[in-house]
Amino acid sequence: MRRLSWFNATSLTLGFAFLYLPMVVLVVYSFNANKLVTVWAGFSTRWYGELFRNEAFLDAAWVTLRVALVSSTLATILGTAAAYVLVRGGRFFGRTLFSGMLYAPLVMPDVILGLSLLLLFISIGLDRGMITIILAHTTFSMAYVAVVVTSRLVAFDHSLEEAARDLGCNRWDAFRLVTLPIIAPAVISGWLLGFTLSLDDLVIASFTSGPSSTTLPIKIFSAVRLGVSPEINALSAILIGIVTVGVITTSLMSKRAIAKRIRDENRAET
């Protein structure tokens, strides 16, 4: 390993501090025994215990998880279908308009998206609850999935599908047996993206949620308005832990897959 120059070392330290210091503080204080968040009174896991006895938080977490699972799955199906039609459907009437409109939720401010969905749900008389959050999240996640899957489909060799058809597949079988397995990584990352966005979303969920269904971000936000409690710190620390494990696992997996592929290809040519 090359030694870092003092300039590089300093900028690296500053950069990391800027990014991660707030989180480190949060995690450290989640183990604080004191009820006052900012006064350190020794190590304790007390707040984690309290958190798991707090029904309201657990309910909200459960709702969030279900919303995220269902909406990201729906968004993946719709987004993949949209991407497939846009890339493979050839030129059809309204294609440009459709592809432009598909990306609109990416640039639309959340407040406007949330408000318009709220107005829609009210005007069609749909009671706000988990269903409306799921619908709302599906709407914007779908756009993200479509973007991710489109980029993979564009790079995809069209003759693979033709080969499948040539060997006896109808269009659906060709998609199911050849296209889908090959674009699976993009579909999965689209799903993960939708899942994270849904977990994360506060603005749209607060427009579309009802009194019976509160998601975790809404719960945390409203709890913090009454004052930061150590329980919130503990909850946030858990969330950080989950995300960290997830990110590290996926990056290790993809790194290993790439390394294996390069090794295989080198071996194949010799």
Partner 1 sequence: MAEKPRKPKPITDLFAPWTDPDAKPLIEFRSVTKKFGDFTAIDDLTLDIYEKEFFALLGPSGCGKTTMMRMLAGFESPTEGEILLGGKNMVGIPPNERPVNMMFQSYALFPHLSVWDNIAFGLKRDKMPGDKIATRVEEMLRLTRLEQFARRKPHQISGGQRQRVALARSLAKAPKLLLLDEPLGALDRKLREETQFELMDIQEKTGTTFVIVTHDQEEAMTVASRIAVMDHGKIIQVDTPAQVYEMPNSVYVADFIGDVNLIEGTATRTGPDLCEIRFHEGEPPITAEVTSEISDGQTVTYAIRPEKIRVSRDQPEDRSNVAFGKIIDIGYLGNVSTYHVELADGQMVKAAMTNATRVARRDFTWEDEVWLSWRESAGVVLTQ
Of 21 and 184, CB closest to partner 1: 184
Cα angle 124, 129, 131; round to 5: 75
DSSP H helices in 155-179: 158-166, 171-174
Of 55 and 265, CB closest to partner 1: 265
Of 96 and 170, CB closest to partner 1: 170
Q: Site for partner 1 (CB under 8 A): which residue of 83, 178, 220, 234?
A: 178
* Beta pairing partners, 43: 32
Of 55 and 157, CB closest to partner 1: 157
CA-closest candidate to residue 32, choices 232, 252, 202, 195: 232
Under rule CB under 8 A, residue 182 binds partner 1: yes
Q: Write the CA distances from 221 to 111, 202, 215, 224, 232, integer angstroms.
A: 16, 8, 10, 5, 10
Of 46 and 165, CB closest to partner 1: 165
Q: Which positions from 158 to 177 touch partner 1 by CB under 8 A, shown as an x/- string? A: -xx-xxxxxxxxx--x---x
Question: Applying CB under 8 A, which part among 5-13, 153-161, 203-211, 243-251 lies near partner 1?
Answer: 153-161
Q: How far apart are alpha carbons 67 and 131 in whole angstroms?
A: 8
Of 247 and 257, CB closest to partner 1: 257
* Nearest distance in Å: CB 193, partner 1: 22
Count of residues engaged in binding partner 1, rule: CB under 8 A: 23
Stretch 245-264 residues interacting with partner 1 (CB under 8 A): 261, 264
Under rule CB under 8 A, residue 115 binds partner 1: no
* Nearest distance in Å: CB 6, partner 1: 44
Q: Write the CA distances from 250 to 79, 180, 193, 244, integer angstroms.
A: 22, 20, 13, 10
Radius of gyration of the chain (CA): 23
* Nearest distance in Å: CB 180, partner 1: 10
Report which residue type is found at 213. S
Under rule CB under 8 A, residue 267 binds partner 1: yes
Q: Site for partner 1 (CB under 8 A): which residue of 157, 225, 226, 227?
A: 157
Q: Write the CA distances from 101 to 79, 96, 97, 106, integer angstroms.
A: 13, 9, 6, 10
Q: Site for partner 1 (CB under 8 A): which residue of 181, 252, 253, 257?
A: 181
The kind and range of the H/E element at 193 are helix 180-200
Report the SS3 class of residue 43. Answer: strand
Judged by the rule CB under 8 A, the positions of this chain that interact with partner 1 are: 157, 159-160, 162-170, 173, 177-178, 181-182, 261, 264-265, 267-269
